[in-house]
Structure 1
Amino acid sequence: MEIPEPLLDLERAAEAERAKLAGLDGEEHAAQQRTWREAAAVFQQAVTAHAAAAGVDRHTLEQAVKHAVRHNG
């Protein structure tokens, strides 16, 4: 499956926000968690839109993007 670069970029951004949670606690953790969730929501919306437009399975596309980002950089 060919994965559009913008989807990879959005997942990378969400993962970068998630990584910033390490070592935080209290309100800093809560604020960063909100930022991560917002980035993840943007990624999810883009996956849904692309899957619908391309006529591909949404879950398969999401997993392919996540695998590409987490295992191939």
Structure 2
Amino acid sequence: MSDINFPAELVELERSAWEAAQRGELTPELAAEVQAGITAHAEASGLDRYTVEMGLKRIVRHPEPGT
């Protein structure tokens, strides 16, 4: 999953959503925006949406050391 090239904007959007969720402040609008970004990236890259979503969550929630 780590070989997916994610746009920086999508990573930042997921990071914002994850931080909001941790604070108990995730809104349906932000969650929908993330899902729309994931779907668009999956379609553009020819990958399965679930693969894209899991890869994105992995790099945001479990970053490699030094990133």
TM-score bracket, shorter-length normalisation: 0.7 to 0.9
1:40 and 1:13 map into 2 onto residues whose CA distance is 10
1:4 and 1:68 map into 2 onto residues whose CA distance is 12
The equivalent residue for 2:13 is 10
Give the number of equivalent residue pairs: 61
The alignment partner of 1:2 has SS state of coil
| Match for residue 56 of structure 1 among 28, 47, 50 | 47
1:69, CA displacement in angstroms? 0.1
2:8 and 2:53 map into 1 onto residues whose CA distance is 13
Overall identity of the aligned pairs, in %: 41
1:5 and 1:65 map into 2 onto residues whose CA distance is 11
- Per the normalisation by structure 2, the TM-score is 0.78
Structure 2 residue runs of 5 or longer lacking an equivalent are none
Bigger Rg over Cα:
1
Question: RMSD over aligned Cα, in angstroms?
Answer: 1.5
1:25-66 deviation per Cα after TM superposition (whole angstroms, max 9, x unaligned): xxxxxxx35x2x321110000110111112111110110000
The equivalent residue for 2:32 is 41
1:19, CA displacement in angstroms? 1.5
Runs ≥4 in structure 1, deviation > 4 angstroms? Answer: none
- Per the normalisation by structure 1, the TM-score is 0.73
